[in-house]
Structure 1
Amino acid sequence: MNPPHRPLGERALRHVIRLIGAAPAPIQRLIAGPPVRIDGQQLNLEAQVGTRLLNLGVSETFEQLPLDRGREQIAGEAFVFGHETPVETVRSLTIPGPDGPIPARLYRPAGIEGPSAALVYLHGGGWVLGNLDSGDAVSRFLAAHTPLTVISIDYRLAPEHPFPAGLEDALAAFGHIVDHAEDYDLDPRAIAIGGESAGGNLAAVLSLHRAPGWTPPALQVLFNPVTDLSTKHRSYELFGEGLFLTEAQMDWYKSHYLADPDQALDPRVSPLLAGDVGHAPPAYVVVAGFDVLRDEGERYAARLAEAGVDVTLRRHSGHVHGLINATGVGHAARDALLEAVGVLHTRLVARTASASATATASRRTPSDGQ
């Protein structure tokens, strides 16, 4: 993600988008065109500008390209819209997996003393695209601002490795990190799972997993998650074209991820179809108002709440899919992530600090009779 290693066109587009993002609202409106209103919502000006520029700058979308070029295009979009928030420690890891070592990347900010809370993060990309670099901007931001340790997982991708390969990697990586928390200087009681889009799907499914010796996440943070591949909810009809993530792209993802379309009925693919969700950990679910995945994300949050799970649902009404990845443009992505930071801090970091302080005080208090 180092700017000199990206093509000149991407570097130029990155610069232009940042200039436009800092421009006065009237200029942005001139570029964006008339306001877009759908389903009682108005598309945020930043989102409309970004979507328009992206559509103008891309002659072919990734599902129309050979797979390697589609993956490179997603890497380019991550570079164009993202920002490398400084983090003191960023290092590569390998974690034992079911089909060989799983690449991972650890982010740890300055100022953390002793075992820290952690977020295991799963990037988006429809189970087909994306990697550690495409998840870098979000991982850096969350690590730096919460602050906590983030470990991003480079799970296997379809179609080379269709379902359930990516899920198996996520389960193996999370289980290993919890079981070896001391090796990473983590508090095993305060390790959350999080992900965006397809990564949010894997995080949701992982949060429902039960097995002997399995320690569930302390919290699940689901950004624009896929929760139901068995059907197309109303938001597909409303937002299926021209708003960053399209219906055609979701069809393409599904055809690559699933070897058999009937696998969409498996709760490990569509967690909304799970029979029992009451054992899931607390959840923070984020959806975008102009996203084909909006309705299934909201239905999953409602399903968790009905089962007695502690759930917070946040709809960013004026925004599109992928909002959180645009940390280098405007304020919307950073504002959305800062809300997640507040949840992570309250649920994990503050509790870890409190427990650590209590333990320290206990060690310093003379025992009875001394």
Structure 2
Amino acid sequence: MPLKSDVVIEAAKFDPANNSEQANKLNQYLLSVGDKGPAWYEVGAPKYREMRWKGESAFPAPTVIAAGVNFTIPSREPGRNIPCRVLYPSKRTTDTDRKQCRGSVMHIHGGGWVLGDERSSDPLCQFYADTGDLAVVTVGYRHAPEDPFPKGPEDCFDAGEYLVKNSEKDYGGPLRFIGGESAGGHLSLLVVFHLLKAFSKLDLCGLILNFGCYDLTETPSHVNTGNTPIIPPKTLEHFRNAFLPNMSLLERRSPSVSPYYENLAPFRGRLPSALFTCGTEDPLLDDSVMMGTRWLMAGGEAYIKIYTGGPHGFVAFGEALKEAQMAMGDIATYIEQCMEKLDS
């Protein structure tokens, strides 16, 4: 009998020769656009945030959905609240009906721990809300460089604890999912491990982790992918250094900083299902593949979905990239599967 590997990778998924023509054109366009505008670290984070909302950066301003509701959650610091935003299923339009959702999603936005806010991901959050009949709460955590580690994670921990305790009352059911993109994926895993330690009976349906950064010491794909769209190596380095100023590589290996190094053994049998998505033209590719593999090794259910040719943040390019449409379909299937288990 021929020898078979216990771990199988579909290598063709990772071969640049298999990039679609559409993906190659989009990546070239994104590279050209990125070269035209100033980087955030050149003009300063506050100025660049203003530019993004005015549509003056390399990419269009975020789309804000009028139905979103802004509110605040208490923080651990007396007298200070954490700004948040909730998107409800489109079919639920009254206050009474909105309290009858099937639970909530805790969403953590991306932006390199520096950019974005609770309004930045409205279309994606609305998609989650409509797919699962869930209220989607996005956390406006504090940003670097003004408030570096651990301020942002602490805000997310406080919001996570609040939702565990209040989701049933506010949104018709418990906290069902946690997820985010890029830096939001990183913060999502930090929150998951925090909540697993704080609540012995935590029972999440799943995690939606899109192109997250889980090892802040640098993986091979961080340094070997060349000039990638959206977050070239220099930009990624500036993001990390703003979030973790003056922190050594050894310190960055702490599980409190890099969730890839978390000891998963104590969570065997308790890890929630997790969906990891990433494109192959993303310097964070290793993060998703390796974190997802560790999840499986620890007995957790993990779906590692790789999209050939997809750049960082590729799910936002649905009209221009078939791989983004495929990913959104996979995310919808994952949410639906997780919710169906509640009814079985």
Same fold (TM over 0.5): yes
1:314-333 aligned at under 5 Å gives the runs 314-327=305-318, 329-333=320-324
Query: Is the alpha carbon distance of 1:330 and 1:224 closer, same or farther for their aligned partners in structure 2, counting shifts above 3 Å?
Result: closer
**One of 24, 49, 67 as aligned partner of 1:48:** 24
Give the Cα–Cα distance (whole angstroms) in 1 for the partners of residues 104 and 120 of structure 2.
20
What secondary structure does 2:308 align onto? strand
How much does 1:329 deviate? 4.2
Query: Is the alpha carbon distance of 1:46 and 1:165 closer, same or farther for their aligned partners in structure 2, counting shifts above 3 Å?
Result: farther
How much does 1:41 deviate? 4.3
1:366 aligns with none
What secondary structure does 1:222 align onto? strand
Give the Cα–Cα distance (whole angstroms) in 1 for the partners of residues 138 and 40 of structure 2.
23
Alignment check: 8 A CA contact 2:31 2:229 kept: no
1:9 aligns with none
TM-score of the superposed pair, with normalisation by structure 1: 0.76
**One of 184, 188, 206 as aligned partner of 1:203:** 188
How much does 1:327 deviate? 4.4
**Corresponding residue pairs, total:** 313
1:181 aligns with 167
How much does 1:208 deviate? 1.6
Alignment check: 8 A CA contact 2:252 2:258 kept: yes
Question: Which shifted more, 327-336 or 309-318?
Answer: 327-336
Give the Cα–Cα distance (whole angstroms) in 1 for the partners of residues 224 and 15 of structure 2.
8
How much does 1:255 deviate? 0.8
TM-score of the superposed pair, with normalisation by structure 2: 0.81
Give the Cα–Cα distance (whole angstroms) in 2 for the partners of residues 201 and 41 of structure 1.
30
Correspondence 1:135 to 2:121: yes
2:293 aligns with 302
How much does 1:38 deviate? 8.0
Alignment check: 8 A CA contact 1:171 1:206 kept: yes
Alignment check: 8 A CA contact 1:81 1:326 kept: no
1:280 aligns with 271
Correspondence 1:109 to 2:102: no
Query: Is the alpha carbon distance of 1:243 and 1:54 closer, same or farther for their aligned partners in structure 2, counting shifts above 3 Å?
Result: closer
Give the Cα–Cα distance (whole angstroms) in 2 for the partners of residues 293 and 68 of structure 1.
25
Give the Cα–Cα distance (whole angstroms) in 2 for the partners of residues 39 and 264 of structure 1.
31
Correspondence 1:253 to 2:233: no
How much does 1:168 deviate? 0.9
Question: Which shifted more, 48-57 or 115-124?
Answer: 48-57
Alignment check: 8 A CA contact 1:163 1:258 kept: yes
Correspondence 1:291 to 2:271: no
Letter in 2 for 1:105: R
RMSD: 2.7
Question: Which shifted more, 199-208 or 257-266?
Answer: 257-266
What secondary structure does 2:180 align onto? strand
Give the Cα–Cα distance (whole angstroms) in 1 for the partners of residues 72 and 132 of structure 2.
24
1:152 aligns with 138
Alignment check: 8 A CA contact 2:24 2:309 kept: no
Give the Cα–Cα distance (whole angstroms) in 1 for the partners of residues 50 and 311 of structure 2.
22
Alignment check: 8 A CA contact 1:234 1:295 kept: yes
Kindly report structure 1 stretches of 4+ aligned residues shifted beyond 6 Å. none
Alignment check: 8 A CA contact 1:137 1:325 kept: no
What secondary structure does 2:68 align onto? strand
Give the Cα–Cα distance (whole angstroms) in 2 for the partners of residues 217 and 79 of structure 1.
34
Give the Cα–Cα distance (whole angstroms) in 1 for the partners of residues 319 and 172 of structure 2.
29
Q: Which has the greater radius of gyration?
A: 1
How much does 1:156 deviate? 0.8
1:59 aligns with 37
What secondary structure does 2:60 align onto? helix
Alignment check: 8 A CA contact 1:145 1:338 kept: no
2:225 aligns with 239
* Unaligned runs of at least 5 residues, structure 1: 1-36, 356-370
* Unaligned runs of at least 5 residues, structure 2: 1-12
Letter in 1 for 2:179: G
Query: Is the alpha carbon distance of 1:101 and 1:82 closer, same or farther for their aligned partners in structure 2, counting shifts above 3 Å?
Result: closer
